[in-house]
Structure formats: structure tokens, C-alpha cells
């Protein structure tokens, strides 16, 4: 593994809430061109870990490295500008804006120029072009004028990803993108993720085991804040500890 | 400044601080439990003070009672008033945005002020403390301290401890705390949340009214007193940290000290000093002294 | 801005421009006052409707602008608008910058309380200390001049100057709100978390909005001081902060023309409730009528007066009459 292929690295990340240890010395690496899934039961610390990697939450101990730089002290917006994108478990969109404007505003983060207060934002070629690309890639080309609040649940999840893509990040932290999706929508999303794989390092927190084992190149299993296994899907499936703690002790069938 | 005068000012600061804490507690109670920011809370304080003035002759004539009887009647009226007000007005505010709550309760302030003006007028009044408490206690060889001010501190302290006890040690307190974090859950447990909120609101009103009644002999009764106390309560919450009772107590006492000693040493700047204190604390701790808890 | 709204705004400014031709001195004076309120309301609209920051202390910046006008003007001669106006606006902006730096880190109810408290601080400075001249206030002896020919001490030049300021502020804000800066502020209002996740540092944006808003309020304060010739601590009273907040809610939040409509509606309501001809002895207690109106308008007109046509349409046609399946790229702040 060439080190310059590791786009995001978490080292010994720990988070304590008073006496409770929510994340216990977790180390994780995200490589370009791979999907790294993080699975675990509710309360295992997955969301906390993602919040620490994204910069919304400070770690009690440990470091976060983004593209080779130590970003542990960086706030979230700074990490986002450096190439870290994030989608949320609950769709965090702008409901009153159109789908297109959602993505355009996201893309504007790259070209903010707030001092040009007289220029029409819609004429900003950079953000509008990026929004076009992102919406098309996420399959929202027919819905550009729809107010985002009126989208179906699956479409909102697509928009969530599109907004992530609009900032042209190198690392994607995706928190349960498949939550609440039907079979067809799941297929579409998985196809999109497979398409995004090359060129990005993707962290995927998910509960849908079928999807995880299909798409992930690497799986990290968390229980009670600690990592109990981090390996290829086959190895994780066969791991007796994982089977006992999470997969229900069966013969590896999720 | 001699030791005796210093002690007097300390006791004054304590009394003012505890009174503030009481009023601020009512405000924080209603906001913390029901999520309603009530600008009219200061008006309840004002109503209490005017009740102490206006009810006294009526209570004296009808029941032959004095100060304490007036207090009791006023408290009863306050609870009734709070109960009705919640039912008629505040219950509609729970689901609304803060901005709407701010504006509607601001409109309520104007209504209360004008109703007071229409019924009792705009004059400033004094209220005499009850003969029982009108005396003074010796302090050192030369100075004395009014018993009534000690009474105020005592009442506020007792009420604060009482509230603490109710919240942490009784079933009612438990239900209230549960209702503030998870309304639906409490309802599904069969507890009538509407009634609970009504009770809490009436209690908040009663606390503010009582504070006004008790403070009247010391602060006198004047039209702007509601606004004044409301804004200082806001400063208490800002300094103390939103949702923190500990913070509110510490902030109230700090404000008491700054205001009391400020009036002694820098009478011209006295009004501003409290806000300077607030600015300094915000510089140091943007969210106030304590987080919620 | 789409056609009907553009038409409305053009019409409104046209009427304002022609008003002096038909109105007497009282009418000119009244509308000058209303236009000053409108500039004040626009400043708050930027903060509340544009950025989602509910400020309950806007009167402080208005007051700073007003007091600066009087304190900076020489006692014997008329000052020139060319330096006096920018100076007053700058001072108001500086106070806004200082208050904003401390307040903007907070949010929600806390922010409302902090802004109110800082405005009260300014109030006490002018009320208690010799700087402000106490409760009586200070007089402006000579109104400023623009060049040597426009004497703002006369009602008609002042009217025209105020109208120009109003048009300038309105136009400027219209441009600003559709610019990248304005869209970023709208994003902060709608979903600040997403803004941060995308890479916007939201603190500088909010502080910028707060400062610009304070500057515009300072401009309104300048105009007020020039018009009235007298400043007193009531200009920083929290009741004035409340009044300007009511204006933009009454008019309709999220729309620049709402600030205009709200300022007019509020001023007219004030005149109505204060009118002894209609209310007789009750005119003294006009705040009662105002308070009830505030409660009623918040309860019954959630979108303000601007939203009344749409509300009527919904009532008459049912919801399908208004639900359009498309939204313009902008969230429609116009």
C-alpha cells in the first residue's frame, strides 16, 4: 500500500463523555479507489467516529490526517474545503431551495467570493457548472427545479450525495445513505457508489448488510466504541468474534 | 468604607441577587420545560408589586388581614391568573418559533402595561413592610440592618430550596423533567401533559408575582419595573448559561455584587456596569458560565 | 424578482417620488418619517429575513447613528453630509462589529437575549452618563448640508434625500441578497450545519451581515436625527427594537418589500391608535391597541401582509391554487 494512496487516516481516536468512552482508540485508513464500510450495532460509536473525522466533534485523544496533513485541530469547514465531503443520516438539505440551487450553493463553497456583493450568484459559472455535473451524476437531472422539500425520501438521499459531490471532494464520509430506501433505490445508489469508487476514498456507515458485503472493499466492525475486526469482507464474515457480537452467530450469512 | 458598611452592602447585594435569581428561575423554568420564551415574565413581577399596593386596603377591609394575608391572596390570584393565561394564550405558543413567541409575548407586555395604567394608573407608590418585619437588626456598634431585607433573602432562599426539592425529590418533579425532554413519551405513559404544563406555568407566574409582592416595600412600585427586571433576568441567563440553574444563581449573585457596589463607587456608570460584566464574561465564555444542567 | 413584485416596487417608489406634489407639509413630514422607519426595517430584514438572526437590539445601532450625528456636528455651523453621513454610519457599524463579534457565536433564544442586553447597555450609556446628555437628550443646532445647495434642514430636500437613501438601500440589498454573499446567508438561515459541512465558515458571514445591518440602521439613525433635530435615550430603547421587529413581521419576513409595507403599516397603525378623534380618551393608551394588533397579526397573518394575497387565494381556491411544483433557483427573497 503506497502511503500517498491513503487519503484519510484516523489514529487512536478516542472520545470520552464524562465517564463513558464512546470511541475507544479507533484507527482507520481510507484509500483512494476503495469503499471502506464501518458496521456495528446501535451505540457502537460509528456516528461519533464519523463526527470526529469530519470535524464536527473534537476527539479526546488521537489524530486525524487528511491528504497527509494533520487536521485534528481543524474545524469542519476547513476540512471540507480541503477535500472532505460528508453526507448525513438524516437528510441535511435546504428544503426551500430548488434541487439545483442546493447543489450550486454547496459548490459555491469552493468559490465563495463574498465581496462581489452585486454579482448575481446564478451567473457564477464555476458553481453552476459543478452543480450540473453533480446533479447529473446523482441521477437528479429531471428534478432540478423541484423544491428540495418536496422530493421523495429516496430522492432526498440522492440529493444528499449530490451535494457532497458538488464540492468535488476526495474523501466521502457517507452516513447511512441507504437508510429508508426501497430495493430499486438501493440498487441505484449502489451503482452510484460503485461509479464513485475510482477517484475517491469512501467511508460508508451502513446497517444494510447485503449492500455492505456487496460494495465494500474493506469492513471495520465496531462494538462498544472499539474495533473488533478490520479486514476484507470474507475475512470479516468468517471472523468468530464478529459472528458472535454482530452477525448473530450464524455461519456467516448476514 | 468601614466593615459595617461593607457588610451592609454585601447583604444588599445578596438580597438583590437572590431576588433576581427567583425571578430568573421562573423564566428559565417556563423556557426549559415548555420551550417558550416569555417576555411578559417581567410583567408578572410588576403585577405582583402593584398587587401588594392595591390589594392591601381591600384585604385589610374584608379580612382584616395585613401584609401576609395580602401575600396569600395575591398568590392565590396569581396561580389562578397563570392557569387561565396558559389555557387562553400560552398553550398556543408551544409549537411556534421563538421569533413568534418573542413577538406575541411582547404584545402581551404592552397589553398588561396599558391595563395596569387603566386600572391602577401610572403613579409611583411605596408599600410599607409589615410591622412585624419593619424593625432593624444591629450590625456592629453604629449600624443597623433592616429586618425586612433579610426576610426577602430568606423567602427567596426558601423558595429556591423548595423548587430544588420538588424537582429532584418528588414524583411531580420527575414528571416535569421527563415532560421537558420527551413530551410524547410522557403522554403515552398516561400523564396529562397539558395539565402538567398548565401547573408549571402557573407556578412560574406565581413565583414572579410573589417576588414582586415581596420586593415592593424595598424597590417601590413603578411602571417600568417589569421591563427593568426582565432585561436583567436576560442578563442573568446570558451570564449563567442557558438552562443552567447553577449558572443562574452564580450570575444573579455576581450581578447583585456588581450592581450594589457599582452604585456605591461609580454611581454614574452603575447602570452600564452589569452589561460590561456580561460582555467580559462572553469574551471569556461565549456560552455563559455553565452549560445546561 | 418576478414581474408583479417588480411592478409593485416600481409603483411604490413612483408614488413616493410624486407624493410631495400632492401632499402638504404634514404629509411630507409623515412620509419622511415612514421612509426612515423603512430604512431601519430594511436593516433588520437583512439580519432576520436574510440570515435568520433574530436581533432584538437593532435600536442600539440606530441610536448610535443618531447620537453620532448630533455629537459630531459642530455646534455653530452646518456640517457637510459628505463626511458626516459616512462617519455616523461607520460608528454604527463599529458598534455592530463589536457587539456582533460577541453575540454571533451564540444562537437562537440566547442570541435574542444577548442582542437585547447589548442594546440596553448603549441605552444606559446615553441615559446615565454625561456623554448622552441624559434623559433630555441633545439638540442638533444646524442641519447638515449636501454641498452648498441641498439644505437638509428644509422638509423637501430632506424628503428627497431620504427617498434616495431608501432607494439606494433597497436596491443595494436586492443585489446583495441574490449575490453569492446573499445566497450564503440564506443557506445559513435554512441549514447552517450543511453550510459548514460544505466548507463555509459561518461565523465571518454572520458577523458581516450583522455589521452591514448595523451600518444601515445607523444611516436610518442619521436621517432621524437630521429630521427631528433632537436625540434622546428613547432612540435606543428596547421598545424601538421591538417596534422595528414588528414592522418586518407585519410586512412579511423574507421579502424586502415586506420591510416597506411593514414600516408603512406600523406608522399608520400608530397614527390610528393615537388618534383622539377615533379613540378619544383611549388614545393615551394606544399601546394597548398596538399590543393586541401584534398578537393578532402574528397569530393570523403568519406570512405578514405580503402573504395576504396568497393566503386569500388559498382560502378561495384551496391549497392547489398556490402550490407550484417549481421553485426558482433563489429561494425567492425579493
CB B256, CB B17: distance < 8 Å: yes
Pairing of strands A34-40, A201-205: parallel
Query: Which tens digit of pLDDT belongs to each residue from B3-14?
Result: 888 888 999 999
Write the residue in C181, C199, C325 that is nearest to A117 by C-beta.
Answer: C181
- Provide the sign of the torsion angle of the four alpha carbons B59, B65, B68, B72, taken in this order: negative
Helix/strand number for chain A, H first, E second? 9, 10
Establish whether chain A is in contact with chain B, requiring a minimum of 3 CB pairs below 8 angstroms.
no
H or E, element range at B108:
helix B98-119
Cβ contact, residue pair A146, C326, below 8 Å: yes
Cell of A199: 477517484
Cβ contact, residue pair C121, B287, below 8 Å: no
pLDDT at res. A185: 87
- Of A89, A87, A64, A85, the residue nearest A74 (C-alpha): A64
How close B252 comes to chain C (CA, Å)? 15
Tell me whether B272 touches chain C (CB under 8 Å). yes
Stated pTM of the model: 0.91
Query: Which tens digit of pLDDT belongs to each residue from C66-116?
Result: 999 999 988 777 888 889 999 999 999 999 999 999 999 888 888 999 999
Residue ranges of C 43-62 with Cβ closer than 8 A to chain B:
48, 54, 56
> Within its chain, how far is the Cα of B35 from the centroid?
18
CATH annotation of A1-83+174-254: 3.40.50.300
Tell me whether C193 touches chain A (CB under 8 Å). yes
Cβ contact, residue pair C325, A146, below 8 Å: yes
Cβ contact, residue pair A121, C182, below 8 Å: yes
- Of C54, C51, C303, the residue nearest C183 (C-alpha): C51
Q: Which residues of B touch C299 (CB under 8 A)?
A: 92, 104
Residues of chain C whose pLDDT is less than 70? 1, 147-148, 319-334
pLDDT at res. A93: 94
List chain A domain ranges.
1-83+174-254, 92-168
H or E, element range at A201:
strand A201-205
Number of other residues whose CB lies within 10 A of the CB of residue B253: 18
pLDDT at res. C323: 46
Model ipTM value: 0.90
Q: For C251, what's the count of Cα atoms within 13 Å in the CB-facing half-sphere?
A: 31
Tell me whether C79 touches chain B (CB under 8 Å). no
A-C Cβ pairs (cutoff 8 Å, strict): 123
For C13, residues 6+ apart whose C-beta sits below 8 A from its C-beta are: C163, C167
Cell of B199: 401547573
Tell me whether A152 touches chain C (CB under 8 Å). no
pLDDT digits (tens), chain A, 254 positions: 445 688 999 999 999 988 889 999 999 999 999 999 999 888 788 999 999 999 999 999 999 999 989 999 999 999 999 999 999 998 899 999 999 999 999 999 998 888 888 889 888 889 999 999 999 998 899 999 999 999 998 899 999 999 999 999 999 999 999 988 888 889 989 999 999 998 899 999 998 888 999 999 999 999 888 898 898 999 988 888 888 876 654 444 44
Helices A153-166, A183-197: inter-axial angle, 10-degree rounding: 10
Phi and psi torsions of A247, nearest 5°: -85, 5
For residue B283, what is the nearest residue in chain C, using CA coordinates? C102
> Within its chain, how far is the Cα of C29 from the centroid?
18
Q: Tell me the C-alpha to C-alpha distance, in Å, between residue A26 and each of A4, A17, B163, B276.
A: 21, 16, 44, 45
**Alpha carbon distance C203, C187 (integer Å):** 13
Tell me whether C81 touches chain B (CB under 8 Å). no
**Alpha carbon distance A214, A207 (integer Å):** 13
List chain B domain ranges.
18-219
How close C297 comes to chain B (CA, Å)? 9
Q: Which residues of A touch C329 (CB under 8 A)?
A: 97-98, 100-101, 104, 122
Length of chain B: 293
DSSP-derived letter for residue C305 is: G
Cβ contact, residue pair C128, B113, below 8 Å: no
User: Residue B110: pLDDT above 90?
Assistant: yes
Q: Name the CA radius of gyration of chain C, rounded.
A: 20
How close C165 comes to chain A (CA, Å)? 17
More confident residue, C114 or B33: C114
For C280, residues 6+ apart whose C-beta sits below 8 A from its C-beta are: none
How close C301 comes to chain B (CA, Å)? 11
Cβ contact, residue pair C331, A105, below 8 Å: no
Q: Which residues of C touch A104 (CB under 8 A)?
A: 329
**Alpha carbon distance C97, C209 (integer Å):** 10
Cβ contact, residue pair A96, C180, below 8 Å: no
Cβ contact, residue pair C327, A97, below 8 Å: yes
Write the residue in B92, B113, B242 that is nearest to C110 by C-beta.
Answer: B242
Cβ contact, residue pair C242, B106, below 8 Å: yes
Q: Which residues of B touch C116 (CB under 8 A)?
A: 231, 234
**Alpha carbon distance B220, C233 (integer Å):** 23
Tell me whether A27 touches chain C (CB under 8 Å). no
Amino acid at each position: 500500500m503506497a502511503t500517498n494512496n491513503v487519503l484519510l487516516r484516523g489514529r487512536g481516536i478516542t472520545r470520552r463523555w464524562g465517564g463513558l468512552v464512546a470511541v475507544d482508540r479507533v484507527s482507520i485508513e481510507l484509500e483512494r479507489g476503495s469503499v471502506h464500510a464501518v458496521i456495528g450495532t446501535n451505540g457502537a460509536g460509528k456516528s461519533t467516529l464519523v463526527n470526529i473525522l469530519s470535524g464536527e466533534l473534537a476527539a479526546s485523544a488521537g489524530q486525524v490526517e487528511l491528504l497527509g496533513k494533520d487536521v485534528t485541530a481543524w474545524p469542519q469547514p476547513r476540512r471540507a474545503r480541503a477535500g472532505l465531503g460528508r453526507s448525513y443520516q438524516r437528510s441535511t438539505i435546504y428544503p426551500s431551495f430548488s434541487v439545483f440551487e442546493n447543489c450550486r450553493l454547496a459548490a459555491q463553497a469552493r468559490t465563495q467570493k463574498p465581496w462581489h456583493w452585486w454579482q448575481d450568484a446564478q451567473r457564477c459559472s464555476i458553481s453552476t457548472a459543478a452543480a450540473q455535473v453533480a446533479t447529473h451524476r446523482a441521477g437528479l437531472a429531471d428534478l432540478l427545479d423541484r423544491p428540495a422539500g418536496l422530493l421523495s425520501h429516496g430522492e432526498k438521499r440522492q440529493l444528499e450525495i449530490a451535494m457532497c459531490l458538488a464540492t468535488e471532494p476526495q474523501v466521502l464520509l457517507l452516513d447511512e445513505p441507504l437508510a429508508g430506501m426501497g430495493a430499486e433505490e438501493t440498487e441505484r445508489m449502489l451503482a452510484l457508489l460503485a461509479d464513485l469508487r475510482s477517484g475517491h476514498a469512501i467511508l460508508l456507515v451502513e446497517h444494510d448488510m447485503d449492500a455492505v458485503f456487496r460494495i465494500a472493499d474493506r469492513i471495520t466492525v465496531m462494538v462498544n466504541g472499539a474495533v473488533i475486526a478490520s479486514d476484507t469482507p470474507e475475512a470479516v464474515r468468517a471472523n468468530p468474534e464478529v459472528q458472535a457480537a454482530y452477525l448473530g452467530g450464524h455461519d456467516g450469512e448476514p | 468604607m468601614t466593615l459595617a458598611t461593607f457588610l451592609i452592602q454585601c447583604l444588599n447585594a445578596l438580597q438583590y441577587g437572590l431576588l433576581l435569581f427567583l425571578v430568573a428561575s421562573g423564566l428559565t423554568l417556563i423556557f426549559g420545560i415548555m420551550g417558550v420564551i416569555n417576555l411578559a415574565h417581567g410583567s408578572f413581577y410588576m403585577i405582583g408589586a402593584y398587587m401588594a399596593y392595591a390589594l392591601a386596603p381591600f384585604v385589610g377591609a374584608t379580612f382584616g388581614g395585613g401584609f401576609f394575608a395580602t401575600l396569600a391572596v395575591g398568590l392565590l390570584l396569581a396561580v389562578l391568573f397563570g392557569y387561565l393565561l396558559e389555557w387562553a394564550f400560552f398553550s398556543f405558543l408551544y409549537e411556534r418559533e421563538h421569533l413568534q413567541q418573542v413577538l406575541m409575548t411582547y404584545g402581551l407586555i404592552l397589553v398588561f402595561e396599558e391595563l395596569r395604567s387603566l386600572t391602577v394608573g401610572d403613579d409611583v407608590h411605596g408599600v410599607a413592610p409589615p410591622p412585624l418585619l419593619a424593625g432593624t437588626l444591629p450590625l456592629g456598634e453604629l449600624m443597623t440592618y433592616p429586618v425586612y431585607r433579610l426576610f426577602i433573602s430568606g423567602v427567596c432562599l426558601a423558595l429556591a430550596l423548595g423548587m430544588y426539592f420538588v424537582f429532584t425529590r418528588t414524583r411531580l418533579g420527575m414528571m416535569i423533567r421527563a415532560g421537558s425532554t420527551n413530551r410524547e413519551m410522557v403522554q403515552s405513559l398516561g400523564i396529562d401533559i397539558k395539565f402538567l404544563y398548565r401547573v408549571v406555568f402557573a407556578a412560574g407566574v406565581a413565583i414572579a408575582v410573589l417576588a414582586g409582592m415581596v420586593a415592593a416595600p424595598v424597590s417601590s412600585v413603578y411602571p417600568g419595573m417589569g421591563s427593568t427586571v426582565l432585561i436583567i433576568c436576560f442578563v442573568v441567563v446570558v451570564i449563567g448559561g442557558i438552562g443552567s440553574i447553577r449558572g443562574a444563581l452564580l450570575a444573579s449573585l455576581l450581578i447583585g455584587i456588581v450592581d450594589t457596589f457599582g452604585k456605591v463607587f461609580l454611581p454614574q456608570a452603575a447602570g452600564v456596569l452589569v452589561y460590561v460584566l456580561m460582555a467580559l464574561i462572553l469574551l471569556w465564555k461565549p456560552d455563559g458560565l455553565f452549560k445546561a444542567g | 424578482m418576478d414581474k408583479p413584485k417588480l411592478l409593485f416596487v416600481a409603483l411604490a417608489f413612483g408614488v413616493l417620488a410624486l407624493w410631495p406634489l400632492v401632499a402638504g407639509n404634514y404629509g411630507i413630514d409623515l412620509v419622511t418619517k415612514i421612509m426612515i422607519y423603512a430604512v431601519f426595517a430594511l436593516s433588520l430584514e437583512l439580519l432576520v429575513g436574510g440570515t435568520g438572526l433574530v436581533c432584538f437590539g437593532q435600536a442600539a445601532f440606530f441610536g448610535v447613528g443618531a447620537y453620532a450625528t448630533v455629537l459630531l456636528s459642530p455646534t455653530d455651523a452646518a456640517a457637510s453630509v459628505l463626511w458626516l453621513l459616512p462617519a455616523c454610519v461607520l460608528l454604527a457599524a463599529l458598534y455592530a462589529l463589536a457587539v456582533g463579534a460577541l453575540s454571533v457565536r451564540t444562537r437562537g433564544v440566547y442570541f435574542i437575549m444577548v442582542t437585547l442586553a447589548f442594546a440596553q447597555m448603549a441605552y444606559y450609556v446615553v441615559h446615565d452618563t454625561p456623554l448622552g446628555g441624559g434623559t433630555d437628550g441633545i439638540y442638533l443646532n444646524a442641519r447638515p448640508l449636501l454641498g452648498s445647495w441641498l439644505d437638509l434642514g428644509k422638509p423637501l430636500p430632506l424628503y428627497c434625500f431620504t427617498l434616495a437613501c431608501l432607494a439606494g438601500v433597497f436596491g443595494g440589498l436586492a443585489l446583495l441578497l441574490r449575490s453569492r454573499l446573499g445566497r450564503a446567508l440564506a443557506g445559513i438561515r435554512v441549514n447552517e450545519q450543511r453550510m459548514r459541512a460544505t466548507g463555509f465558515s459561518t461565523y465571518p458571514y454572520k458577523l458581516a451581515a450583522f455589521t452591514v445591518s448595523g451600518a444601515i440602521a445607523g444611516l436610518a439613525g442619521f436621517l432621524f436625527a437630521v429630521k427631528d433635530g433632537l436625540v434622546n435615550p428613547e432612540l435606543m430603547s428596547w421598545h424601538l427594537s421591538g417596534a422595528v421587529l414588528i414592522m418586518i413581521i407585519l410586512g412579511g419576513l423574507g421579502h424586502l418589500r415586506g420591510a416597506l409595507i411593514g414600516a408603512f403599516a406600523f406608522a399608520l397603525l400608530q397614527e390610528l391608535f393615537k388618534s383622539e378623534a377615533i379613540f378619544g380618551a383611549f388614545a393615551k393608551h394606544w399601546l394597548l391597541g398596538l399590543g393586541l394588533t401584534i398578537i393578532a397579526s402574528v397569530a393570523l397573518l403568519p406570512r405578514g401582509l405580503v402573504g395576504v394575497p396568497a393566503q386569500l387565494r388559498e382560502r378561495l381556491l384551496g391549497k392547489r391554487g398556490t402550490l407550484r411544483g417549481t421553485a426558482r433557483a433563489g429561494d425567492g427573497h425579493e
